[in-house]
Amino acid sequence: MTLLKHARVLTNNPKPGDPYHIFLCCVGLGAGPNDFDTIGSFLEKRFERENYIILKSKNHKYLKAHSGIDQQGQWFAEEVVELFNTHKEQINAIPCGAKHKLSVVGHSAGGLVSRYALGVLFDTNTVYAFAKTFQTQFAPRLELISYMSIASPHLGLRREKNQILKTFWAKNSFFFMRFYGHTGPQLRLTDNKDYKKSLLNRMSEPTSCYMQALRMFKYRTSVTIIHFDLNISFTSGSIRSYNPYPTPDWFGSPDYRIRGFSNFDRSYEGHFRRNINYESDADVVVGPPSGKENQIRAGQQLDDANLISTNGILSYGCDLQGTEFDRDSVSKKASYIEDPELEVLKNLQTVEWRRIDIEFRLPFGVSHALVHILPIGCTKHVKTGIMDAVRAGTRSVDAIVTTLELDHAM
């Protein structure tokens, strides 16, 4: 293991001369490299017989979290180039024509930071010397595989105003987010004093360098928590006009499942079959929420009738509901805080996304404050009283890493 400034870099080289699997992991606000320790350890185990480089980005705590998505994105881009410069010998030591497989994983605001960084790195009109170095020396040797966001606020601090707490947050989020300096207004889409549009609007414009970089990836995947994420709304994380999943009226022992997924080919079917059921409850009803006739019991196999498959593309659960722009459904079921024209939503839906909709069951009460960090297995705030939540988070990490593993095997 080597160390890159405040970042953590994991490397393995059992096959000298073979291409590398490169994973760039970007943390959210107030987080650090250790937040990706669980995902990093899973990636190490899955790729132990392959060459890999895993970057867990530097700490964004304290004042760094206040600097704005754009500044943090530039720092992350510089960090990536420094990584490649540090490992230049391994990067160049592959046969002519061979390429390294690269994927980017961003959690929370890290999903936005990494999107901005990709725009900086691949902008052909860049003014940054480090970006020009990346484009000339390293980009030609890379195959861009997967961009994955986990509980990331792609649409900003969007909240559906059909519940008291959500309405309170929508009206008062500016007060809370002002403590995040430049970052707060950017997440509220109110940072348009120096430009005609907010940063998130500019990052979603179809002709922008950020969207062009996003299109270069073979896969774009959003992993989003359906309910009880107090930090990021499902609609913002999943880039949907509304949340089609009904709110559960039960709580129980900590557990995890995939409630729905869309736009995957059938080679992922076995992977998802293993993750659609709660592990601890044999009597929990799972399956599409659109009617009893489509529901199955845990432990049963999914039949093809429960799956939506078009030309080999697989979807399940609430499939594509809300994933295509529909102004009527938006006006009836959801609303933005500061984006009345819904430009960010419409623009981001112009590229194809794969979606994984996940659900955590937890005991009633303050434990839901943990939901946001569970998908990446970050358990630094978990107390012994709910240690079963650690196991639920570990199952989530296993599913995420398996998805990346399959992506790199294609």
Q: Show pLDDT as tens, one digit a residue, over the chain (410 residues).
A: 344 666 789 899 999 889 999 999 998 876 777 888 899 999 999 999 999 999 998 766 555 667 789 999 999 999 999 999 999 998 988 888 899 999 999 999 999 999 999 999 999 999 999 999 999 999 999 999 999 999 999 999 866 555 544 554 444 444 445 545 678 788 888 877 666 788 999 999 999 999 999 999 999 999 999 988 888 888 899 998 888 888 776 677 778 889 888 889 888 888 888 888 777 653 433 333 333 333 333 334 444 445 566 666 777 776 567 776 555 555 545 554 556 678 898 999 999 999 999 998 877 665 667 788 889 887 665 554 466 677 888 889 999 999 999 999 98
Q: What's the pLDDT at 7?
A: 77
State pLDDT tens for residues 96-155.
Answer: 889 999 999 999 999 999 999 999 999 999 999 999 999 999 999 999 999 999 999 999
pLDDT of residue 105: 97
Whether residue 187 contacts residue 174, with contact meaning beta carbons closer than 8 Å, is answered with: no
pLDDT value at position 200? 93
Rounded Cα gap, residues 390 and 384, in angstroms:
10
Task: Report whether 116 contacts 37 (CB < 8 A).
Answer: no
pLDDT for 293 equals: 35
Pairing of strands 308-310, 313-316: antiparallel
User: Which residues neighbour 165 within 8 Å (Cβ) at sequence distance 6 or greater?
Assistant: none
**Looking at residue 62, what is its pLDDT?**
53
Task: Work out the number of other CB atoms within 10 angstroms of the CB of residue 291.
Answer: 8
Q: pTM to 2 decimals?
A: 0.86
For residues 362 and 37, give the distance between their C-alpha atoms in angstroms, rounded to a whole number: 23
| Residue 5 Ramachandran class (φ > 0 left, ψ -120 to 50 alpha, else beta) | left
| Pairwise CA distance, residues 178 & 68, whole Å | 12
Find how far residue 298's CA is from the centre of its chain.
27
Spatial CB neighbours of 331, under 8 Å, sequence gap ≥ 6: none
Measured CA to CA in angstroms, residue 147 lies from 36, 107, 370 at distances of: 16, 11, 24
